[in-house]
Chain A
Amino acid sequence: MSEWLTNLDRRWIFLAMFLAVAIPVLLQPELPEQPTPIVQAVFDKIESLPEGSTVLLSLDYDPASEPELGPMNVAFTRHLALRGHNLLYITLWPTGVPMIDDAMRVLENEFADQYTYGENYLNLGYGAGQEAAIKLIATDLAKLFGVDSRGRPLGSYNAARGIRSLQDTDLVISIGAGYPGTKEWVQYAGTPFPEIQLVAGVTGVSAPPQYPYYPQQLIGMLPAIKGAAEYEAALSLVYGTAGEALPELLNESIQAMSTDERSEDEIHEELQSALGIGATQLQSILTGRINCLPLEQISTIAEALALDPMVLIEAATEDGCDYADGRDYPDNYLNYGRSEFQTALRRMGPQLSAHLLMLALIVLGNLIFFLDRRKERRR
């Protein structure tokens, strides 16, 4: 046995690693995460910015690091949009341009009603020059990004109004996989210009060198996929309204109202027309994907389904929505507690089994090593 293990064909190890990753990917286990202080600091910083602040996101990574850093990009974009901030996207990596498109898609799909290109967000594209690019835009943004990715002057957009340099932004978020990345942002933007507030998201391998910058030069940091998962957990604690009371109540009422003459589909159509929304958005409400509805929509639904609006509000409150003190929600408030919005959290399953396999291999390798050594000594 010991000899077989000593001469183990490494293809068995490859197979074990493949299964360790593939099985959790297929089973999608849900593992809970709690934000650690270094991640919570980033979340709190974004929460503390007044609505309408300008945040610059530098997406300095390529497809190789996308599985690790992509969820951070998406989570930051969602959080910033939920808070109503203006977003400027740049990349210092030539292969980073499509990463900006990922963020654009989130804004176009989830915040189409509130966010308009040019008015609330801009894609400034790629800037050549690595750290020199950072130094340049720290004092004059237009010298490197005079026009956006569509070729129009920056001054023609409201999203960049009043932003002459990085020093005029309220926060800079560096999502970096290497050089140029977070380290350069700290050295050439955050440190020489203390008014530039900096937070970061980095890959697992590049996280250790960034720790000395926290908490002075970096307000907070998302280290690796775990950091992204913790951030998603923080987002879901505040913006996720896990629960099914409201969708259950709505579906039950629709079912009760349906007759041979008036089918459920017809009631759905009536609701769509009363609310002025499409079939997809209604489906999102009935499945709980959109959970906290605006009070106006609650009244309309109550009227259409002959229900007391207070009953609907109570069900929504049971799901975690908060209507106290006149609080209301936009009409496409998505439930960020749902797993479809938690890419990083879903990736923690494969990460756990891969880590456990690595540990098992280290233990097994050492066991064989010591057994062999004992045998040699006996001889």
Chain B
Amino acid sequence: MKRTFPLIIAAVAGYVMVVAYFMPALQQVREDAEEWFNILAAIAMILGGASILGMHLRKVSDRRAGWGFSVVTLLGFLVTLYVGLFKVGVPPMPEYPDRAWTGEYIAQGSALWWSFEYIIYPITATMFALLAFYVASAAFRAFRAKNLEAMLLLGTAFVILLGRSYAGTLLTGWYAEEYPNLTLPGLTDMIMGVFNTAGQRAVMIGIALGIAATSLKILLGIDRSYLGSRNG
């Protein structure tokens, strides 16, 4: 029952979406199913939060390697949850100045806004910015013209890196009027519009066929991996 019931729900929901796509009369059923999906997505966020909480609590309790990081995660999670749910420091709306909780949960000056502005914002921006350093190091150590494919990749990288900056205009701008497609920005556009588009389309078609096959396996109950590893 524990396994069959979710399988039936998934199959029925899947078939409804497929059939409704081809039958306009079932459009309302399809919209209802989509609405249900959104409700489930919101509930999944709560489940996800509970799962993170449980996992890190177990890690701290077992004193596993890196449990100190779990303490930081738990603290961050609980404090953010508290200040967000209870609208700590949220100023009331101007229309209702004597009603404390009327303001937006992330209104400027609130605790949640402060934690986003001064913790989340700098941390995520810094993490992303660090990529520039590692990419530069990789460019020096790993990007070698060892064979023809690597040489093609290197040549493309050169054109794109120059064409996507002012250097492209500066180096090849002098003949842009006569031969616009042969300038570095022109070549960049050609690489993106022709070679990249052709490659991306092939990848997309491949992915779409894969998704269709996997969806069919789920609808028919052949693929049960989404129910968890023990049900695979």
Same complex: yes
Residues of A within 8 A of B (CB): 8, 10, 13-14, 16-18, 21, 31-34, 36, 38, 62-67, 94-95, 97-98, 101, 127-130, 132-133, 135-136, 139-140, 143-144, 149-150, 204, 207-209, 211-212, 223-224, 226, 348, 351-352, 354-359, 361-362, 364-366, 369
Interface pair B93/A150, CB less than 8 Å apart: yes
CA distance A166 to B180 in the complex (A): 39
B144: contacting residue among A17, A62, A361, A366, CB under 8 A: A366
Convert B149-178 into 0s and 1s, putting 1 for each residue whose CB lies closer than 8 angstroms to a CB of A. Answer: 000001001100110111101000000000
A211-B196, A212-B200, A356-B167 known; A64 and B139 CB under 8 Å? no
CA distance A293 to B12 in the complex (A): 64
Interface pair B144/A365, CB less than 8 Å apart: yes
Interface pair A351/B104, CB less than 8 Å apart: no
| Nearest-Cβ distance from residue B83 to partner chain A, whole angstroms | 14
Q: Which residues of B lie under 8 Å from residue A66 when comparing CB positions?
A: 121, 125
| Nearest-Cβ distance from residue B30 to partner chain A, whole angstroms | 9
| Nearest-Cβ distance from residue A291 to partner chain B, whole angstroms | 26
Number of A-B contacts (CB under 8 A): 149
Interface pair B200/A357, CB less than 8 Å apart: no
A64-B128, A95-B120, A359-B161 known; A8 and B41 CB under 8 Å? no
A128-B38, A351-B165 known; A17 and B133 CB under 8 Å? yes
B157: contacting residue among A63, A98, A144, A362, CB under 8 A: A362
Interface residues of B in 125-160 (CB under 8 A from A): 125, 127-128, 132-133, 135-137, 139-145, 154, 157-158
| Nearest-Cβ distance from residue A108 to partner chain B, whole angstroms | 11
B201 interface residue, CB < 8 Å from A?
Answer: yes
Q: Which residues of B lie under 8 Å from residue A355 when comparing CB positions?
A: 161-162, 164-165, 167
Q: Which stretch, B1-9, B53-61, B67-75, B185-193, touches the partner chain A? A: B185-193
Could you jot down 23 A-B contacts, CB within 8 Å? A8-B140, A13-B137, A64-B125, A65-B128, A95-B120, A95-B124, A98-B113, A98-B117, A128-B38, A128-B45, A136-B34, A207-B192, A209-B204, A352-B166, A354-B136, A355-B161, A356-B167, A358-B139, A359-B161, A362-B139, A365-B141, A365-B144, A366-B145
